[in-house]
Amino acid sequence: MDYPVTKNGKLLDELLQVLNSHHKESGVVEALEDLKAAKINYQQRSTDHMLQALVLAVHDLMVHPPSRELSGELRSVIQSYYDETLGAGSRLAELARQYEASGGRLLSREEILQEVDERRGTSR
């Protein structure tokens, strides 16, 4: 199983690869440099700087709208990441709704945290 850090790094690498293959398009070089900075900041766990660099990369692509081909490739990479990583949340929510509909009681956030603490042998 890949850890989120590995998946996140892979996402940044794939986005960099797509942008690099379209480096002649207007605004892409700027977005590429901003995304490289975001990756470095991510690796250094500098969340504030990473977020700023991501916003700059997106801004560069908004100011200079990408070609249909580039847009499709970016969409494909992001959709793949969503399906692998974030799509699980909606599936888990659906399972929880099914469990509740069958008579099960959902735990509150506090109950979940308490259960986690008990299993870890820690407290908050």
Average pLDDT for runs of 10 along the chain of length 124: 74 97 96 96 93 96 95 96 82 84 88 87 79
With respect to residue 18, please indicate whether it lies within any of the assigned structural domains: yes
Q: Is 67 left (phi over 0), alpha (psi -120 to 50) or beta?
A: beta
Residue 24: domain span:
4-88
pLDDT, residue 116, reads 86
Q: What is the DSSP letter of 103?
A: T
Q: Are 40 and 73 in contact (CB under 8 A)?
A: no
With respect to residue 34, please indicate whether it lies within any of the assigned structural domains: yes
The domain tally of the chain equals: 1
pLDDT, residue 4, reads 64
With respect to residue 99, please indicate whether it lies within any of the assigned structural domains: no
With respect to residue 97, please indicate whether it lies within any of the assigned structural domains: no
With respect to residue 40, please indicate whether it lies within any of the assigned structural domains: yes
With respect to residue 104, please indicate whether it lies within any of the assigned structural domains: no
Closest among 10, 24, 21 to 80, alpha carbons compared: 10
Residues 6+ apart with CB under 8 A from 118: none
pLDDT, residue 99, reads 87
